[in-house]
Chains A and B, each alone.
Chain A
Amino acid sequence: MSGTALPALPLPAPRRLGHAGFWLASAVAALALILALRGFGSEYAYFAATFVLQYVVLATAWNILGGYAGYVNFGAAAFFAAGAYTTVAIGKALGLGLLPCIGFAALVGGALGLGTGILTLRLRGAYFAIATLCLSVVLQTIVVNWSYVGGSRGAYVLRPREVPFGFDSYSGFLCAVVVVLAAAAVAIARTIEKSRLGLGLAALRDDEAAAEAAGVPTLRLKLIATTISGAMMAVAGAPLPYLGSYVEPNSAFGLAYAVNAIAMPLIGGTASWAGPLIGAVLLASLQQAATVTISSAANLMIVGVVLVVFVCAAPHGIIGLFRGRR
């Protein structure tokens, strides 16, 4: 399903493609993907594509902090769930549809990212990772105790009856939204990577003290990266309530999101925008296939084994493998 649509994604871009060119290429790729899925027209194809693409957004977002700046965020699930619960809360409070909720999710995720950053980014490496893990627990506890969004019972979100913009079904619309989000996420990641911000992040990843000494404003860059990354992870989670029509804290904060958000960029390669994209498409398709054909326990096993094998055998991901050959 999603596998057949893959050729529509942008081919490795020529070296000198400018920012505008890359955004245009991603827009074209997104449009082509939407039309291809439309051609398929099956509900399952929409579901599987949405599943895979939400991971593209999540992995790309994680990589902005984890890959470019080298700060491991174990709390990806917290940001993801924050997005999902923003959709639930805003939808319930203001009666808004999915698109405005995505905007709100970006604000909430960005604020959360900035707050975490201010609190923890003075810490190095493992401390930051553990602080994000704690953030995830604190946030989950708050959601469990917050009865307005359903508490531990979870919340139902009904899909609207009318389908916007002439799509054939709501799943089709949802899928198209996520395609656009994924294309935008990849384009944002690439823009950051090639900008001064990206260079600064790479410098502080390689040696923070040296970067600081050379005049890179490390704390400010890290805060910007955490904010953008948090906002994008929340955006990735925003469509989740509509995908299953139901969210509950245990699944929304599930470790599966956290582990996937880390595994996908590492498998693809963390240094470039294409890494998380390749990793997410590969791993999420594999999981979707394993869930359908074997069992959902097996799909987690596959993630674990693939992750361990890759970090041992190919420490720079699939991209690194190809770079090494050349």
Chain B
Amino acid sequence: MDPDLALLLNGVVSGLLLGGLYAAAAAGLSVSFGMLDVVNIAHPAFMVLGALLVAVLWGATGLDPLLLSLLLTPAFWALGALIYVAYHHFFERRGDEAIQGLAFFFGIMFIIEVGLVMTLGPEQHFADAAYANTTWRIGEIDLPLRMLVPAAVALAAIGALALFLRRSFTGRAIAAVAQDREALRLLAIDPVRIKRLAFGISVAMAALAGGALVVVQPVDAWSGHIFIGRVFAIVIMGGLASLGGCVLAALAFGVVENVTATFYGPSWSPAVAFGCLLLVLAIRPQGLFGRAA
């Protein structure tokens, strides 16, 4: 095969795998930001918290990191529910969630990160899965399991979440609260309880994404920063409340970043990806896959 073509194919495939990781990180945000209208800027910080907890637990038990992150999800769900209760009590109820709420989550992000630095130290932490050093090869294309397994687990989790949102009563209530909370109240469903549940789910997704992240790369307390822009970009490009759009946007984002990195060097990839987002915002603010309001 032509080496340039092989390089391009490899770039696209590993971009898709990277996109799977981004999808995991963005799916939770798509619930909190897209559906609940809670601008949880600390979402990547929760992901990093999950990743570092997984790394610590992995050091203690030696269990599979993705399994550990699954075990962490109930605790993260409770944490998320707790934070939503505080958020609702202080901001949403009073109706000044816009600036104050943003600042609240900004502060939470800082507290998580600095807390992690102070307890675990500023160095990078990692967790090695059993399959981390295996690479499948299909023709000229490399499929490192280190990327493939987290991406597959992430997509499976997102699929399960999408199924839950579409099929179950509670899931449909979550989708409904995004559209009209007063109508929900008329059906004798407490919107606050539903939003609390959904916000817990979004933070639990962050724990899962953290497990995927720590399999892919070593993580330090500040790793979340580079994800803030990315995950919001993906959720917006995906059209906010749509999980499917979010996955597609994540894959596209991963491919654009990775192909740029392959051909022009990794230092340019963020600018290209975020340039795309600025264009999307300027031309089509409802997102690539969203419907006009």
Contacts and interface: CB of A to CB of B under 8 A. Distances in A.
Contacts of B33: 126
B70 interface: no
Given A134-B233, A300-B114, A307-B107, A312 B90 contact: yes
A304 B110 contact: yes
Contacts of B289: none
Interface string A112-148: 0000000110110111011101111110111011000
Contacts of A171: none
Contacts of B99: 66, 70, 72, 266, 270
B110 A259 contact: yes
Nearest to A295: B118
A266 B281 contact: no
A303 interface: yes
A231 B230 CA distance: 27
B267 A145 contact: yes
Contacts of B229: 130, 133-134, 136-137
Contact of B96 (A66, A119, A315): A315
Interface stretch (B139-147, B168-176, B268-276): B268-276
Given A122-B285, A137-B271, A304 B86 contact: no
A145 B260 CA distance: 14
Contacts of B193: none
Q: How large is the interface on A (under 10, 10 to 19, 20 to 34, 35 or more residues)?
A: 35 or more
B23 to A, nearest CB: 18
Contacts of A152: 267
Contact of B225 (A119, A255, A300): A255
Interface string A295-315: 001101101110110011001
A247 interface: no
B282 A305 contact: no
B108 A308 contact: yes
B281 A297 contact: no
B67 interface: no
B236 interface: yes
A175 interface: no
Nearest to B278: A134
B187 to A, nearest CB: 28
A181 interface: no
A262 interface: yes
**Secondary structure of the A side of the interface?**
helix
Given A133-B229, A141-B270, A266-B100, A301 B118 contact: yes
B84 interface: no
A87 to B, nearest CB: 22
A302 to B, nearest CB: 9
B151 interface: no
Contacts of B153: none
A263 interface: yes
Interface in B20-70: 33, 39
A304 B236 contact: no
A270 B94 CA distance: 17
B108 A141 contact: no
A129 B274 contact: no
Nearest to A303: B110
Contacts of A315: 90-91, 94, 96, 100
A270 B99 CA distance: 10
Given A72-B99, A304-B111, A312-B90, A297 B117 contact: yes
Given A259-B110, A297-B118, A301-B118, A120 B282 contact: yes
Interface of B: 33, 39, 86, 90-91, 94, 96, 98-104, 106-111, 113-115, 117-118, 122, 225, 228-229, 232-233, 236, 267-268, 270-271, 274-275, 277-278, 281-282, 285
Q: 7 smallest A-B Cβ distances: which pairs?
A: A304-B110, A308-B107, A141-B271, A307-B107, A304-B111, A301-B114, A134-B274
18 contacts: A120-B278, A126-B33, A129-B102, A134-B277, A135-B278, A137-B271, A138-B275, A141-B267, A141-B270, A141-B274, A145-B271, A262-B102, A301-B110, A304-B111, A305-B107, A307-B107, A307-B110, A311-B104
